[in-house]
Chains A and B, each alone.
Chain A
Amino acid sequence: MRRFKPFFTFGLLMAVFMLSGCSDMIVLDPKGPVGAEQRDLIMYSIWFMLFILIVVYALTAFIVYKYRDRKNHKGYDPDNEGSHLLETIWWIIPIIIVIALAIPTVKSIYSLEGPPEKSKDQKPLVIHATSVNWKWVFSYPEQDIETVNYLHIPEDRPVLFKLTSADSMASFWVPQLGGQKYAMAGMETELYLQADEQGTYEGRNSNFTGEGFTNHTFDVMAMSDAEFEKWASETKADAPELSKGQYDKLMLPGHVKEMTFSSTHLDWVDHATNAEYALDARERLGYEEKIPHSRAAKEEKKKREEEMKKLEESESESHGDSHAH
């Protein structure tokens, strides 16, 4: 048995890990009904999995220990080649487990397509989230405002995200509010999320999009309804309008700080129906992607970073002191 001790110690450690670590891990510490539903499904499945592991490990340990080759070996039966009863049992048990897992899974898949059950009769806040290497542009069509790399949302109200991308395939993910969905150029996908607690949550693109992928992140601030309305109307009044020229610069690959505008790019382009817009904008600015390790690429990158800085300055200047964020 000595040989297998590490495995058991390990299994024990694993169980301890799981039980103690649950509340610390953000996926298992959701702040909204979508994330909570997923957390419940995950925990439900984990118990099944632990059961399966325990059965297999116990059986393995028993058989390997009992039938190891040794003196006074008993029960050797070299022609024991099968048992209909046993085999039927281990066809049926997994089938039952799969059914037990499939039912809640399918239920959740369907319920996650719509707004959370408890806030069904509320009108969801619509936000268009557009990914462009390596930034997130958020448009609030009803409020007619636009933010870059941060979101304000009211708590206890479903938010309908309409996701798309200006270039690479990205994945919109705010782990503490709920699971992710892809944002793709020339396509629109929809994702419902909701925050039940005020606070700041980290969101990011989780689908690899190239060099700047690691910092392709944004913050989500959930606040009271009143605070949200106040922020939205102040932004509308004080923030600068988004010009086409500024938006073109946003289409360049790179990172920018958080920005705020009192109009949205939806006035002239929806990337869900126009997949070529970002590439055209890059062409207008004379930008072309270069072979990564070449000297030309380094120069190009410097040029891009300068453009980004100019864009950031142009936004801050017109803002004056009334930066709403």
Chain B
Amino acid sequence: MKWDEFFVTGDPMIYGADVSIVLTMVGILFYLTKYKKWKWLWDEWLTTVDHKKLGIMYIVSAVLMLFRGGVDALLMRTQLAVPEAKFLDSQHYNEIFTTHGTIMIIFMAMPFLIGLINVVVPLQIGARDVAYPYLNAVSFWTFFIGAMLFNISFVIGGSPSAGWTSYMPLASNELSPGPGQNYYLLGLQIAGIGTLLTGINFLVTILKMRAPGMTLFRMPMFTWSSLVTMVIIIFAFPILTVALALMTFDRLFGSHFFTLQGAGMDMLWANLFWLWGHPEVYIVILPAFGMFSEIISTFSRKTLFGYKAMIWSMLLIAGYSFLVWVHHFFTMGSGALVNSVFSITTMAIGIPTGVKIFNWLFTMYRGKIQFTTPMLWSLGFIVNFVIGGVTGVMLAMAAADYQYHNTYFLVSHFHYVLIAGTVFACFAGLIYWYPKMFGYKLNERIGKWVFWVFTIGFNVCFFPQYFLGLDGMPRRVYTYSEESGWGPLNMVSTIGGFMMGIAFLILVYNMYYSFRYAKRETTGDAWDGRTLEWSTPTAMPPFYNFAKIPEVTGLDHFWRQKQAGKVEKLKVEDIKPIHMPSNSGVPFIMASFFFVAGFGMVFDWMWMAIAGMIGVFATLFYRSFEYDDGYYVSVEEVIETEKISK
């Protein structure tokens, strides 16, 4: 491989990125060394198995990825602002929309939600950690390494450019040679291991580690949504793993599963991809639904309306999510019967979703609604998500979909669902649980600015795209002619996009501002909450979460206790030694070996891939013979921790 193939050359923006990456790395190394933070970094973060810290690391990574994916989006919007723009060339634009989609779904939305699940779910069910804390660290580090591997593609080797769906045969060696597409395959494969492990880990955690008295039908709605999500992950992710592996074989080892030659089946890839891809959509939307349920109930100061209906509708959605994948390619010509069946199943998914919307509305009915920022995001969700929902039903009508397919109508629809659903939830959840993670709230006044600028910008950006779609503008074109008449609406859309970018910057500023100036919480109950995570005496729970595991007597246990004036005080005689898992550096090291192996595979350097895999197996082997059963926190230490916090 020649140097001009290894490094991406010839584009000033890429050189700029090269310089800023090097400078940032030097800056971080300098900071860590100067302030002697290496040991702190290793002991507190890189080796941690604490679900709260892993959760925070997930969220920090996701915010970084939101920045990366957002920059991609703004580059695209800049190129599309006016007809015949020369800002990006076709290849560059194609790489950017490919990485935008992949990063936003795989490396932003999912980790953001998994991060919040990590922080919140064990606390909500009254557990001291997850079922497999070590595995949890493996999950995080494989995700992180997968994301990093994918991200370096734009300066080393070139980014994938076959779309986030990577349809074959376009993504094959013959039509997309080089490392770009391999980055997609390996980055997703490595991160996918982490996601699958998370699915297993949290399924077991929620099923086996609930506090005494917390029956399934007493679980908070966010925990329920996480449980259902984990089930979907466990069924869906193996499909992705297999599909990616098959395409990797095609590209690296000359097999013909999806290729033009050897009677490969490109349609098989599309089917496998969406067999995972559609459940994936629900993986990123169900936890969002769970969060909104918690937030709307908390700030309406009222119990959730139709708790059981909420659960059943979620289970229905989870089941349906595996029965609708064909609607992503109604235009493949599968015949009238197939298209009719999948049209109907897809429309049917709107029914339980609609039920949820009404249940949220009626949770507020007869409530006492407080307009905190998390609540504003939740109301914004209802208002905007409905637009995404109804256009989804329109797209489900196959005969009409022949006209919407591959157009901006579709682009607008899924951004209305994914931004107004998932991203709004990520912001709402982040703000809502921020005091649980950091001990202080984000500033509410600045937070409301973020909400309004973002929500208005979002609508200005995406609403015109429905009309562009109906006017025949296809997705993924890097430019368009003056005569098409798409110029003005595209300009409007670009302005909206930049408003969202500004809102993101204000959000980051809010994090800084609140870090400096926010009043520190003195209790664990920042919002007058309902569920167990708010029952810890300190704002940030100690590493063992609960000195004494609570006994649950009903739904919204903590809220009911407060109403009855019977919040339990911790007594010294209740405290027993607490068993906790030990930190371990192995997950981080294992993931690093995955990086080496992945990088080798990307460039088809098999010696490097094999060396990396030997490292991975060595760490697995090491772990198998490690007899560390964790340690006990002594009663004295618990008393001391709890007293300090009082």
Contact = CB atoms under 8 A, between A and B. Distances in A.
Interface string A161-188: 0000001110101010011111011110
Interface in A109-137: 109-110, 112-113, 133
B383 A90 contact: no
B169 A167 contact: yes
Contact of A60 (B179, B361, B401, B402): B361
A45 B393 contact: yes
A293 B10 contact: yes
Nearest to A76: B368
A308 B91 CA distance: 20
A304 to B, nearest CB: 14
Contacts of A275: 260-261, 263-264
Interface string A84-125: 001100110011001001100110111011000000000000
A268 to B, nearest CB: 18
Given A41-B397, A42-B400, A294-B5, A102 B91 contact: no
A27 B470 contact: yes
A246 interface: no
A211 interface: yes
A78 B564 CA distance: 13
A98 B351 contact: yes
A295 B4 contact: yes
Interface string B581-598: 000000000000000000
A142 interface: no
Interface string B457-476: 00100010001011110111
B456 interface: yes
B309 interface: yes
B307 A289 contact: no
Nearest to A179: B402
B402 A112 contact: yes
A212 B90 contact: yes
A26 interface: yes
Most buried by A among B179, B348, B403: B403
B364 interface: yes
Contact of B371 (A3, A80, A101): A3
A1 interface: no
A41 B333 contact: no
Contact of A52 (B333, B390, B398): B390
Nearest to B456: A6
A180 B364 contact: no
Given A109-B399, A185-B266, A289-B177, A80 B344 contact: no
Contacts of A82: 305-309
B170 A59 contact: no
A179 B355 contact: no
Interface string B532-567: 000000000000000000000000000000010000
Summarize B's interface: helix, strand, loop or mixed: helix
A67 B393 contact: no
Nearest to B379: A64
A12 interface: no
Interface string B356-371: 0111011011111111
Given A45-B393, A76-B366, A185-B169, A294 B4 contact: yes
A247 interface: no
A209 B393 CA distance: 27
Contacts of A293: 4-5, 8-11, 91, 158
Interface in A51-76: 52-53, 56-57, 59-60, 63-64, 67-69, 73, 75-76
Contacts of B306: 81-83, 87
Given A49-B391, A69-B370, A80-B302, A290 B177 contact: yes
A79 interface: yes
Given A79-B303, A168-B169, A293-B10, A63 B364 contact: yes
A21 interface: yes
Interface stretch (A200-208, A220-228, A234-242, A309-317): A200-208
Contacts of B365: 63, 67, 80
A52 to B, nearest CB: 5
B399 A67 contact: no
A206 B407 contact: yes
Nearest to A175: B472
A181 B364 contact: no
B387 interface: yes
B394 A105 contact: no
A302 to B, nearest CB: 15
Contacts of A67: 300, 364-369
A179 B403 contact: yes
B161 A292 contact: yes
Contacts, number: 309
A63 B361 contact: yes
Interface residues of A, number: 101
B245 to A, nearest CB: 21
Given A78-B301, A78-B302, A42 B478 contact: no
B241 interface: no
B400 A38 contact: yes
Contacts of A211: 90-91, 94
A276 B180 contact: no
Contact of A181 (B169, B308, B333, B390): B333
Contacts of B351: 91, 94-95, 98
A168 B175 contact: yes
Contact of A276 (B177, B260, B459): B260
B399 A41 contact: yes
Interface string A267-310: 00000000110110000000011111111100000000000000
Given A28-B470, A105-B400, A175-B403, A210 B161 contact: yes
B350 A98 contact: yes
B616 interface: no
Interface in B373-400: 379, 382-383, 386-387, 390-391, 393-394, 397-400
Interface string B263-274: 110110010000
Q: Which of A26, A48, A179, A208 has the most CB of B within 10 A?
A: A208
B393 A101 contact: yes
Given A63-B365, A78-B302, A291-B177, A182 B329 contact: yes
A55 B461 CA distance: 25
A229 interface: no
Given A49-B393, A168-B170, A213-B476, A80 B398 contact: no
B162 interface: yes
Contacts of B307: 81-82
5 pairs of A and B residues whose beta carbons are closest in the complex: A179-B402, A291-B178, A108-B399, A189-B333, A49-B390
Given A53-B386, A63-B362, A94-B350, 14 more contacts: A14-B463, A53-B387, A64-B379, A87-B306, A95-B351, A101-B393, A109-B343, A168-B167, A171-B405, A180-B403, A180-B405, A181-B333, A189-B333, A278-B260
Interface of A: 3, 6-7, 10, 14, 17, 21, 24-28, 35, 37-38, 41-42, 45-46, 48-49, 52-53, 56-57, 59-60, 63-64, 67-69, 73, 75-83, 86-87, 90-91, 94-95, 98, 101-102, 105-106, 108-110, 112-113, 133, 167-169, 171, 173, 175, 178-182, 184-187, 189-191, 202, 204, 206-214, 275-276, 278-279, 288-296
21 contacts: A7-B383, A27-B469, A49-B391, A49-B394, A52-B390, A60-B382, A69-B370, A81-B306, A87-B309, A90-B355, A105-B340, A109-B340, A110-B336, A168-B175, A181-B332, A186-B263, A206-B406, A206-B474, A208-B94, A208-B475, A208-B476
